[in-house]
Amino acid sequence: MNGAALVAVTLIIFAEKTLPWPRLAPYATAGALVLYGALVITSPKLLPTFQQDGAAMPGKMQMEVPGSDRLIKRR
């Protein structure tokens, strides 16, 4: 997993739940997500894990996940 993305999402969720302005974080996040999603649709290369050869696609199940090395060792 992309650690920076996880940290960013955690901070967004924390801001949504704790900031004194209840609508600020959700609305700002909404705008950012719609904009970013639209950009990815028009230019897929903007997706951090995008690779032209498809190596990062779910079909290949390439993931960086905790514990995955244990699975490999067992095999």
Partner 1 sequence: MDKTQANLFYLQRNLILGLLSALVAAAWAGLVWHSHTTTEMTMTHAVGYARHFIADWVIMMVAMMLPTALPMIITFHKVQAANRQPRDAFATTWVFVAAYLVVWAFAGLAAYVGMQAAEAAIVRFALPPAAAAQIGGAIIVVAGIYQLTPLKDVCLSKCRGPTDFIVTAWDDGARSALEMGLLHGAYCLGCCWLLLSSSFRSAS
Distance (Å, rounded) from C-alpha 67 to C-alpha 72? 9
Residue 32 as a binder of partner 1 (CB under 8 A): the answer is yes
Please choose, from the candidates 1, 7, 15, 20, the residue with its C-alpha nearest in 3D space to the C-alpha of residue 64: 1
- Binding to partner 1, residues 5-24 (CB under 8 A): 5-6, 8-10, 12-14, 16-18, 22
Residue 73 as a binder of partner 1 (CB under 8 A): the answer is no
Given a contact cutoff of 8 angstroms between Cβ atoms, the answer to whether 62 and 2 are in contact is no
Q: Determine the size of the site formed for partner 1 (CB under 8 A).
A: 59
Residue 51 as a binder of partner 1 (CB under 8 A): the answer is yes
Residue 34 CB partners (closer than 8 Å, separation 6+): none
Q: Which residues bind partner 1 (CB under 8 A)?
A: 1-3, 5-6, 8-10, 12-14, 16-18, 22, 26-27, 29-41, 44-45, 47-54, 56-72, 74-75
